[in-house]
Amino acid sequence: MSAVACGNLALAQIQLVASVAPSAQAPNTEQSAPQPAPAGESGDQPADSGLLSDIRLYFTAPLRWDARDWAWFGGALVAIGAAHHYDTSVRTHFVKSLAPGQTIQSDDVDDAIPTVAVVGLTWGYAALADDSNGRREAGAMVEAVALSTVTSYALKYVVAREGPDQTSNPNEWFKGGNRSFPSWHSTAAFAVGTVLAESGNDEYRWLRRLLGYGLGVVTSYERLRHNDHWLSDTVAGGAIGAATADFTMHRRYANGERDSLSVVPVQGGAMLAYRVSLP
């Protein structure tokens, strides 16, 4: 038998299999193609999701860090150390015009308003437009702030650093009731800002990043200008907020789902289906 004849015979066999496959299905399956089961639903165990699961995974995350995660952590420590080198010069820049005995008025509430406003506007728009993606984004912001706040205040109580409004020495650590390191305002601003910057589609990504990361930078600048924190306080807070936002977005948007490849029977044959979850 010639090669051409063998090829025609093989093609005919493939066509025969494709045309016969639907006949083996029940009549009601010809009306609509069944969908592949979502990942995490095929087994007996439910997907590892939910707020309590997020809390557990967040505070035990270092136990599962890989080389890349430890590299980011090391980079953050280097950045904090570099900022600490300039703590005194930055403080001097903002207080050099003060008269002896004069202090800068602290604005804790005012410095938190932009961060609160971004969360409120995101949630309000989502509710008004009935946008599920917007509600998920606002939820990620709230969760990122909540988780990072616990980390921030735990460090405040452990490190107990005196702030620049209390001393001109940036190395006053473990001083009892002092709570300068890290800056909670910077932590919250970068937690919310990172979610804003990296959520949604890429159509206005540049604008989202400008507003999101700008929120963190401006808030940190205001904390320095009001002499409430050292530069290294704000850098540490920003690192905690951004890292927590990254964790929260991975949990909220992926929700433990995996990509899946499956073969779905359809009328006339079969269809190869690939399922992937996108933010």
Residue with the larger pLDDT of the pair 34 and 167: 167
C-alpha distance from residue 246 to each of 4, 85, 212, 235, 243 (Å): 58, 28, 13, 17, 5
pLDDT (tens digit, 9 = 90+) per residue, 37-73?
343 333 333 356 678 899 999 999 999 999 999 999 9
Mean of pLDDT values over 233-261? 81
H-state helical runs in 35-179: 51-59, 67-85, 87-95, 108-129, 132-159
pLDDT in tens, 169-195: 999 999 888 899 999 999 999 999 999
Asked if 193 contacts 215 with a C-beta cutoff of 8 angstroms, the reply is yes
**Structure-token pair, residue 48:** 């590892």
- Per-residue pLDDT reduced to its tens digit, 102-132: 567 778 999 999 999 999 999 999 999 999 9
pLDDT, average across residues 223-230: 95
Distance of CA 62 to the CA centre of its chain: 16
For 204, phi and psi rounded to 5 degrees? -120, 40
Q: What's the confidence (pLDDT) of residue 203?
A: 87
Phi, psi (5° rounding) for residue 260?
-140, 145
Closest CA to 155 of 31, 266, 278, 239: 239
Question: Is cis: bond before 34, omega within 30 of 0?
Answer: no
Residue 177 is predicted with a pLDDT of 80
Other C-beta atoms closer than 10 Å to the C-beta of 190 total 33
Structural domains in the chain, CATH included, are: 51-96+105-254 (1.20.144)
Tokens 């971004």 sit on residue: 118
CA distances 212 to 109, 148, 159, 195, 244, Å, are: 20, 17, 29, 7, 15
